[in-house]
Structure 1
Amino acid sequence: MGELILIRHGQTEWSLSGRHAGRTDVPLTATGEVTAKALAPRLARHSPVAVFSSPLSRALRTAELAGLIGVRPDPDLMEWDYGGYEGLTAAQIQETRPGWDLWRDGVVPGGPDRPGERLEQVAARADAVLDRIRPLLSDGDVAVVAHGHLARILAVRWLGLDASASRLLGHPHPGTLGFLATEGEQPFIAGWNVP
């Protein structure tokens, strides 16, 4: 049984400043490109049988620089639609909503182009991705290039936990890897935030 390799896209200006970048197509910084290239030797040892990516350019560019071949864009791998919180930092949101927590309180609508998503909606997308990937793991490793919050949700849904348990995982740093595996039939996290 192969492993599911979770790759968080490289650094962007928004990830550097802590801004919520859901659907805004923010490009990689120069540092983000260097970090993505540095993933190539590690990923080459795995030879994934399939590669999926968020269709946003920061994820696709990370996949390209990391040397991944045959990348299939998957809209279910897009980051959480933060609605009215798109582009804001947690501190800015907490100025108007003291004590705000994404996992507990969610987001507010942001208009027709950014209606926002509930945690359950993001979890349903993560479940759909996992349903497509699990059969492929019998042939080897599968790589997924995605975003921070979505990666956390994918990991806890892999474990069979409620999506709200995502708050228990550290936020994956840009340009890092996570490894989701099974032992017998028991899913586990074999690595997290691996540079």
Structure 2
Amino acid sequence: MTTRIVLVRHAQSVPPRFGVLDDDDRPLTAAGLEAAEGLVSRLVAYAPVAVLSSPQLRAVQTVRPAAEALGLAVTTWPELREWESGLLPSADWEMSYARSWARPGLVHGVGESLDAVTVRAGKALARMAVEYPDATVVVGSHGTFLSRALIAVGLEADWESCRAMPMPMPAVYEVLR
């Protein structure tokens, strides 16, 4: 049995505030909400049996329109959340992220390493395969999480590919488990 997992990176969100821990309730921008609506027909075409999401608002808002069109609820799983980097949003965030990608075992303060995100993503994908065998699920999540999920299934991803995810967002990837 094979589970098809359609990974969706959230649409454009309100930027985080520099120097302040990221906010789980950070929403999509007006353009992001419009992009989420524009994604409906593409996601509905997969005929998913479930729509899962990170509990972070921007991810939920991205997949909610498709879930509503399908008559499904959005089920949030905490393990689908974005990388808890331990880094405060700042103007030099790309340099900090590049350093972390170069050393994926690196932990910043009370954050988690990228290696830990890869393990978390792999376990989440395995759980989906058990709970939704021989079916399709749509998953709303985040750029770093999606990149590490690709690594967890044996595909290549690095800092450059993470940065190069299609713009404007959202981005959609499909994996089989």
Structure 2: gaps of 5 or more residues? none
Residue 167 of structure 1: which of 159, 166, 177 is its match? 159
Number of equivalences: 168
TM-score normalised according to structure 2 size: 0.79
Amino acid at match of 2:137: V
C-alpha contact (below 8 Å) 1:23/1:81 kept by paired residues? no
Higher relative contact order (CA 8 A, sep 6+): 2
Amino acid at match of 1:35: A
Deviations 1:81-114 (A, max 9, x none): 121x23224x3574xx7x95221244521xxxxx
Deviation at 1:65, TM superposition (A): 2.4
Residue 172 of structure 2: which of 169, 177, 186 is its match? 177
Alpha-carbon distance change, 44 to 24 in structure 1, aligned in 2, over 3 angstroms: closer
Paired position in structure 1 for 2:74: 71
Amino acid at match of 1:156: I
Correspondence 1:59 to 2:66? no
Paired position in structure 1 for 2:151: 156
Amino acid at match of 2:11: G
Deviation at 1:159, TM superposition (A): 2.0
Alpha-carbon distance change, 128 to 34 in structure 1, aligned in 2, over 3 angstroms: same
C-alpha contact (below 8 Å) 1:79/1:147 kept by paired residues? yes
Paired position in structure 2 for 1:144: 139
Paired position in structure 1 for 2:83: 80
Paired position in structure 2 for 1:193: none
CA distance in 2, matches of 1:152, 1:92: 17
Amino acid at match of 1:169: S
Deviation at 1:156, TM superposition (A): 1.5
Q: How does 1:104-119 map to 2 (within 5 A)?
A: 104-105=102-103, 106-109=106-109, 115-119=110-114
Q: How does 1:1-150 map to 2 (within 5 A)?
A: 1-14=2-15, 24-67=24-67, 69-83=72-86, 85-89=87-91, 91=92, 94=95, 101-105=99-103, 106-109=106-109, 115-136=110-131, 138-150=133-145
Deviation at 1:135, TM superposition (A): 2.9
Amino acid at match of 1:87: P
Amino acid at match of 1:80: W
Amino acid at match of 1:31: A
Alpha-carbon distance change, 23 to 125 in structure 1, aligned in 2, over 3 angstroms: farther
SS in 2 for 1:142: strand
Structure 1: gaps of 5 or more residues? 110-114, 183-195
Deviation at 1:31, TM superposition (A): 0.4
SS in 2 for 1:154: helix
Q: Report the RMSD for the aligned CA atoms in angstroms.
A: 3.0
Deviation at 1:134, TM superposition (A): 1.8
CA distance in 2, matches of 1:126, 1:7: 14
Alpha-carbon distance change, 103 to 62 in structure 1, aligned in 2, over 3 angstroms: same
Q: Alignment identity in percent?
A: 28
